[in-house]
Structure 1
Amino acid sequence: MRSMTSIRYCAIAIAMVMVMCLCGLLPSAASAAQTAPSAPAAEPDDPAQRPKWEAGLVTGAGRVVDYPGADQSHWRGFAAPLFIYRGPILRVDQDGIRGRLLKTSDIEFDVTGSAAFSARNNDARQGMPPLDYLFGVGPQVIYKGLRKMPGGPDVHLNLRALVSTDFHRTHGRGAEFTPEMRWRFSPVAGLPAAFTVSLQPTWADRTLARYFYQVDASQATPTRPAYDARSGYLGTALNLTLSRRHSQSLSWFATVRSMSLHGAANAASPLLRDKTNVSVGAGLLWTPWQSQARASE
């Protein structure tokens, strides 16, 4: 029993780190990456100066919306081991745990993941099953050709299959398509900081839409009528992240995520109570252990 409990809490800690990493609550790779102790300080955007691996701790806290369209949010906090690896194929960095299958000057193709917190104390869902931790995996195409234009963004195209789990049981939750345009500015006001802006619309299939917004007849109440969820547009998120490193091993980040659900396919669901969601977070990364070897690009 004790070993199962340890496994469960370890899995929860990993899930929290993945959430912060994949939802933009961790800084960009350049800010998280530090040079080796014997190397001179490098510009954050210089891939050749990033250590191949780093290890340390990450801690953070934030107020996060329970689910897209919820009118409640809760404080979340975490502290967990952090490991960053920048191999030629396997990558564990600000873009999650991914395997790069193709890389050219303009295009990358890889497999990546996503994660989201559980929601167990939401008033709108009283008497309904809680929302478990949600994990996704699928292919990603990154197009960098627009960087050649002034202010040009990277374009990320993600298609992911999703599963939910309470670390006892696992259920398939359909799929989502999330294109993203991402801009990154560094330095900021002459400081060794990075400012990242991303715009990310999401489309969900019917299985995922039902997970968030379905109300069966047996779950209906006078204030929560039955509702049959459908596939379609979920919403668009605007993510703003500021990060800065203060030394070769210490950096911080702060982020704001605003999501608009105006025009969402399931706007009529009684569980979609707020069409504008805002989440905030901040944290510290400490990576005292770093490789002398440089990252592969």
Structure 2
Amino acid sequence: MRSLISALLCALALATGAAAAQETASDSRRLELGAGLGLLSNPDYRGSAQTRTTVLPVPYVSYRGKRLELSRDGLAARLFNTDSVRLGLSGSGSLPGDDSQDSVRQGMPKLLPTFEIGPSLDWRVSESGGDWDLRLPVRAVAAADFDEFEGIGWLSYPHLRYSRDGLRLGAWELETALGAGPLWASRKYHRYFYRVDPRFATPERPAYDVGSGYSGSRATAYLGLRHGAWRVGLGVTHDVLSGAVMRDSPLVETGHGTVIALGVFYSMWVREWTQPKKRAPAAALQPQS
């Protein structure tokens, strides 16, 4: 069952990460469905020296409407919108290692997949040569599978992001995105991954506790390509733990970590439709006296 949860999370990460955003009119909607093959390589957790690589079939889903959007940035609901400021909902997740705990966490409770969701205030800083956005997400985090559910605090990733669409490489359409910023997290979040309870302490793994605060920095890069019904997406995330409050935890084996997600998809079904515009009341059409 644990492997099933991991597979589903991997599929979601790849499907949304490779979804190419399409510009649509404000009153139109677009839904695109397909399937493909994905690869995900990630450490057991930030700071772990153990990495896992998973290859599996995954779905492809892209949706854009007036208020709801599913793209490479995940699922977002536009709660408030102006030309330069958007308040929405964002989500993310992580895949810890499998049940074979042969790392520094051996003998400790197993880590569950984590889910993140919360509001994000996005400000369009500039459109010079592409889109520059300052994004301020704050997300509640839960660790869960079919048998367990536990709230583990909150995580914030304020970052500056540059994106550009409409580029071409021969017959392929390209879109790119780069982002970087610090991570901040609550004490409960840090304790879930990096605390060593005295009952699990060993001579090689002394007891350790940690508080809230700076959780390292993150840089992301994304490249998406489209040609006809084919879609390719490559996403890379690199974390640096230098100066982080949990850097001295005996569970932190390395000060950096990289997640790589690659997906190749074929779009099999597309539907576009326009939301009927509301007609003005009859009284509003009467000439003013």
Q: Does 2:144 match 1:153?
A: no
Query: Which of 183, 206, 226 in structure 2 is aligned with 1:245?
Result: 226
Q: Match for 1:224: what amino acid?
A: R
Deviation at 1:21, TM superposition (A): 5.5
User: Which of 1 and 2 has greater Rg?
Assistant: 2
Q: Secondary structure of 1:88's partner?
A: coil
Query: Which of 253, 257, 264 in structure 1 is aligned with 2:244?
Result: 264
Q: Secondary structure of 1:19's partner?
A: helix
Deviation at 1:252, TM superposition (A): 0.6
Q: Does 2:201 match 1:223?
A: no
Q: Does 2:87 match 1:79?
A: no
Query: Cα RMSD (Å) of the superposition?
Result: 2.5
Counterpart CA distance in 2 for 1:85 and 1:101 is 17
- Give the percent of matched residue pairs that are identical in Structure 1 and Structure 2: 29
Judge conservation of contact 2:216–2:244 (CA < 8 Å) in 1: yes
Deviation at 1:281, TM superposition (A): 2.6
Distance 1:66 1:174, change over 3 A: same
Judge conservation of contact 1:51–1:290 (CA < 8 Å) in 2: no
- The unaligned stretches of length 5 or more in structure 1 are 34-45
**TM-score, with normalisation over the residues of structure 2?**
0.84
Query: Which of 124, 136, 159 in structure 2 is aligned with 1:180?
Result: 159
More helix by share: 1
Judge conservation of contact 1:28–1:194 (CA < 8 Å) in 2: no
Length, aligned pairs only = 271
Q: Match for 2:134: what amino acid?
A: V
Query: Which of 49, 63, 70 in structure 2 is aligned with 1:92?
Result: 70
Counterpart CA distance in 1 for 2:179 and 2:15 is 14
Judge conservation of contact 1:48–1:295 (CA < 8 Å) in 2: no
Counterpart CA distance in 1 for 2:3 and 2:235 is 26
Judge conservation of contact 1:18–1:115 (CA < 8 Å) in 2: no
* 2:148 alignment partner in structure 1: 169
State how 1:15-30 maps to structure 2 within 5 Å: 15-20=9-14, 26-27=17-18, 29-30=20-21
Judge conservation of contact 2:218–2:238 (CA < 8 Å) in 1: yes
Deviation at 1:29, TM superposition (A): 3.0
* 1:106 alignment partner in structure 2: 84
State how 1:35-54 maps to structure 2 within 5 Å: 46-48=23-25, 52-54=30-32
Deviation at 1:261, TM superposition (A): 0.6
Distance 1:223 1:79, change over 3 A: same
* 1:36 alignment partner in structure 2: none
Distance 1:20 1:109, change over 3 A: same
Counterpart CA distance in 2 for 1:202 and 1:113 is 15
Judge conservation of contact 2:44–2:97 (CA < 8 Å) in 1: yes
Per-residue deviation, residues 213-242 of structure 1 (Å, max 9, x unmatched): 000111111111110121111111111222
* 2:94 alignment partner in structure 1: 116
Deviation at 1:188, TM superposition (A): 5.7
More strand by share: 2
Q: Secondary structure of 1:135's partner?
A: strand
Distance 1:72 1:84, change over 3 A: same
Structure 1 stretch 173-182 or stretch 84-93: which is displaced more?
Answer: 84-93
Judge conservation of contact 1:142–1:154 (CA < 8 Å) in 2: yes
**TM-score, with normalisation over the residues of structure 1?**
0.82
* 1:200 alignment partner in structure 2: 181
Deviation at 1:200, TM superposition (A): 3.3
- The unaligned stretches of length 5 or more in structure 2 are 277-289
Query: Which of 30, 40, 62 in structure 2 is aligned with 1:62?
Result: 40
Distance 1:10 1:103, change over 3 A: farther
Judge conservation of contact 1:213–1:229 (CA < 8 Å) in 2: yes
Deviation at 1:68, TM superposition (A): 0.8
Structure 1 stretch 158-167 or stretch 89-98: which is displaced more?
Answer: 89-98
Counterpart CA distance in 2 for 1:98 and 1:250 is 24
Per-residue deviation, residues 102-147 of structure 1 (Å, max 9, x unmatched): 1111011112211111323440110011111100111111111x22
